Amino acid sequence: MKSTTAHSKRFGSFDRAFAGKYAMRMFFAVLVILAMTYVGTRAFTHIDLNLYGYMVGTFVFLGGLFYRFLSWSERPPAKAFISKGMKLLLRRRGGIETAVESVDNLGMFRFIWNRGPYRWVQHMLMGWGCVISCLVTFPLVFGWMYFTMEDNGTYTVVFMGIDLMRIAAEGLLAYLFYNALNISAAMVIAGASMALYRRLKNMQARAEQTFLFDFLPLYMLLLVSVTGLLLTLSNFALHGWGHAEMSLVHQWSVIVTLIYLPFGKLAHIPMRPLGVLVKQYKAHYAEQAMKACKTCGTDFISVEQSNDVIDVLKQNAIAFESPEGFHLAELCPACRRKYRIAQFSGAPTHRIPVKEANQNAKG
């Protein structure tokens, strides 16, 4: 009996078949993609083996992205944001508010506008260029979308195994389909060039930037985009000269970028949608009750967020209780900085009711 019980404990739970949560979720993600590919390609009858390298690179990218997300989501602050953000999303009007917030921040990059029109245009070009290229590339790589021609001069667009629409081969819509990747590449090149120019000329950017974190992602995006456009140039202007060699260079540039993406600065692109939950969390609880700074009395965050910060610090065994009887999380950022000065100077500088020169600066 004891051996049977021990056997059931060891093998009865399904998740024990995996080394951890990461392995289990990655396994099921791959199964979902394979199932979608089976349906989209009509039982694997429409797979382009020329795109096999991109497919392998995508799976490695997903593995890195899952690892990055799960390692981040296990942290106490992230758990609080995700759990409460999902509760707000599931409210009666949560879906509508999320859609509006998504359009505002993910579609229009409104949060970038505060940093200036130049940076807004730069992010719009790079952001939407990357999104368009992903929306085209991934469905083609996994066979979720392809084109057939039954009638001369008419293409049938097939999506997830369903004949979606028929388009004239010489029409405007077909032209946009054919050149979607070229258009997105031109957008990325323009946006990345603007970013490089700013990083070379802006004094603040020059003081803070590093090659690996700030310049390398831009060079990788430029390499992918330029080699993609050179493939089109080879086909239309050079009669296919150098196409085989350039296709390998382009494929390797895409694969290396996909592998790098979850672990560098570009990781904020797939992680950015989570910012919508954070915005909703802050906006919703700010409407409930605001927290006044214990020193200057200024409302700076919601009571809920202040309590969450204190709880998270307790979970990490970090105590920020002051001799005056308040927690440092109950001070606004300006008074908190002045409080730190007070610990070195011995003078109660956090009690001085003087605002910093850039306390209300935007951007």
pLDDT tens-digit readout, 255-276: 999 999 888 888 888 888 877 8
What was the pLDDT predicted at 254?
A: 93
Work out the end-to-end distance of the chain between its first and last CA atoms, rounded to an integer number of angstroms.
67
Task: Give residue 21's pLDDT band: very low, low, confident or very high (50, 70, 90).
Answer: confident
Distance CA 231, CA 331 (A): 57
Q: Which of 15-19, 238-242, 283-287 shows the lowest mean pLDDT across its residues? A: 15-19
pLDDT of residue 225: 95
Mean pLDDT estimate for the chain: 82
In angstroms, what CA-CA distances link 131 with 5, 37, 74, 136, 191? 52, 21, 27, 9, 13
Q: Which of 142-156, 233-247, 330-344 has the lowest mean pLDDT?
A: 330-344
pLDDT in tens, 137-181: 999 999 898 888 877 788 888 898 888 888 888 888 888 988 999
Q: Is the pLDDT of residue 317 over 50?
A: yes
Q: How many CB atoms lie within 10 A of CB 82?
A: 16
- What is the pLDDT confidence band of residue 3, given thresholds at 50, 70 and 90? very low
What pLDDT score was predicted for residue 26?
Answer: 84
Residue 66 binned pLDDT confidence (cut-offs 50, 70, 90):
confident
DSSP string, 196-260: HHHHHH-HHHHHH--IIIIIHHHHHHHHHHHHHHHHHHHHHTSTTTTHHHHHHHHHHHHHHHHHH
Q: Which residue has the higher pLDDT, 315 or 351?
A: 315
pTM assigned to the model: 0.78
**pLDDT > 90 in the chain, percent:** 20
pLDDT band at 78 (very low <50, low <70, confident <90, very high): confident
Whether 8 shows a pLDDT value over 60: the answer reads no
Residue count (the chain) = 363
Q: Supply 266's token pair.
A: 């570009």
Residue 330 in contact with residue 322, Cβ under 8 Å? no
Q: What does the domain layout of the chain look like in residue ranges?
A: 18-275, 289-351
Residue 359 has pLDDT above 60, yes or no: no
- Please tell me the class of the 18-275 domain: mainly alpha
